[in-house]
Amino acid sequence: MAVAKIIEIVGNSTKGWEDAVRNAVAEAAETVKGISGVEVRDMTAKVVKNKITEYKATVKIAFLVEETRKR
């Protein structure tokens, strides 16, 4: 039986929200194997002098848990 685990992280970008999501997945992939999906939960931005300077995306990343026990 396959078991999935979900973690929630925040990615950021100076280009846009889509790039922030890509950055979050890329960063998670550095330490998490087998990412199978991503759900965007929230998008926010930092504004300085009436202009967006940083985009942030809170995402849930799903990945399969490797089975180590013998059946």
**pLDDT score of 65:** 87
The CATH number of whichever domain residue 28 belongs to comes to 3.30.1660.10
**pLDDT score of 53:** 98
Structural domain span for residue 16: 9-59
Structural domains counted in the chain = 1
Burial bucket for residue 11 (CB in 10 Å: 0-12, 13-18, 19+): buried
The tens digit of pLDDT for each residue in 25-49 reads: 999 999 999 999 999 999 999 999 9
Contact 7, 65 (CB under 8 A): no
The tens digit of pLDDT for each residue in 49-65 reads: 999 999 999 999 999 98
Answer whether residue 70 shows pLDDT above 70.
no
> Which of helix, strand or coil describes residue 51?
strand
